[in-house]
Amino acid sequence: MDFDRELWKEVVAFHGHECPGLAIGFRAVRIALDKLGVTRAKDEELLAIVETDACSVDAVQVVAGCSMGKGNLIYKNHGKQAFTIVNRKTGQAVRVYVDASKLAVDKDDRMARMTMILTAPEEEFCKSEFVDIELPEKARIFPSVVCECCGEKMAEIRARIQKGKIVCLACFEDYSR
């Protein structure tokens, strides 16, 4: 896989700076797209499932064309540098898990770590594999309802009933023991 400097510049411009975390997302998605034989999504033909909320997710958005706004970026709070890209047309999915600590480079030298992540052979720091997943439905648009506490509109699917009133999640008083 060739290093695409122009695409890397786009990713950096979107994120705001270069860093090893951004490089992780960049490489992971490039690996997955390559294995799937596809390019960046124009609409919802690809789905990305990310298991982190770190810098790497910004690279996923730019390289894969998946975003929360289009409904084809799903966040799972697993705390792992793991990324699954799904081709909705074929149902094929590739999950890439990145362990950059396996790279033989000074952990305090951010530029060296980033360069290694961008250029090292994937087998030195990644595990990539085709996986079976159940495809979630495409994003839907829900009607809006008004919160009877704050007066703001929200998607009906996110509303709660509390003391007989429709309330948003921000106003909802969660009960748990």
Task: Kindly report the pTM of this predicted structure.
Answer: 0.85
In the prediction, which pLDDT does 106 show?
81
Report pLDDT digits (tens) over 63-83. Answer: 999 999 999 999 999 999 999
pLDDT tens, 112-158?
999 999 999 999 999 999 999 998 887 788 999 999 999 999 999 99
Whether 96 and 126 map to the same domain: the answer is yes
Q: Report the number of distinct structural domains present in the chain.
A: 2
Contact assessment for residue 117 and residue 24, using Cβ atoms and an 8 Å cutoff: yes
- What type of residue sits at position 80? K
Q: What is the pLDDT of residues 13-45, one digit of tens each?
A: 999 999 999 999 999 999 999 999 999 999 999
Structure confidence at residue 5 as a pLDDT band (50, 70, 90): very high
Q: Between 170 and 101, where is the model more confident?
A: 170
**Alpha carbon distance 163, 53 (integer Å):** 34
Are residues 117 and 103 in contact, defined by beta-carbon separation less than 8 angstroms? yes
- Give the domain extent around 174: 141-177
Asked if the structure places residue 136 within a domain, the reply is no
The pLDDT score that the predictor gives to residue 60 is 98
Q: pLDDT value at position 136?
A: 84
- Mark whether 108 and 38 lie in a shared domain: yes
Q: Do residue 26 and residue 80 come from a single domain?
A: yes
27 in a domain, yes or no?
yes
Both 105 and 31 in one domain: the answer is yes
Residue 166, pLDDT > 80, answer yes
2 vs 121: CA distance, rounded Å: 11
Quick one: 173 and 122 in the same domain? no
Indicate if 26 and 98 belong to the same structural domain.
yes
Q: Structure tokens of 35?
A: 């294995």
CATH value at residue 149: 3.30.60
